[in-house]
Structure 1
């Protein structure tokens, strides 16, 4: 969990907003709405979370946490 705490502390505000939204829904449209972002604003952060191995897209329109237990850390820090 200590490693996850470090990851969380190094995330940008928008990365955190998206992560918090991901704890409520896997649907990209819901995540964008909850994070207060449009598609063009959301896409770079989505790509960055995927590139860093924090998230993955199991199918079109979905975004899920890649790291086991990371959602729980996000919920604790929300």
Structure 2
């Protein structure tokens, strides 16, 4: 298993947008992204300023959308 990169919520949202996800809505400090062709793929990303997303949260987000840490590094 690859080492997870340390990434802020805003940077993660930007990387997921480059990977094809679109922002559906925002609820407070959480941005909800969806995939335009696969409605089952959804990511909820916490954006708390420049604070990095915790490793367990990042791992759960990536697992939920079927992306590996190596895939994420490619989009960062």
Asked if these proteins are the same fold (TM beyond 0.5), I'd say no
User: Greater strand percent: which structure?
Assistant: 2
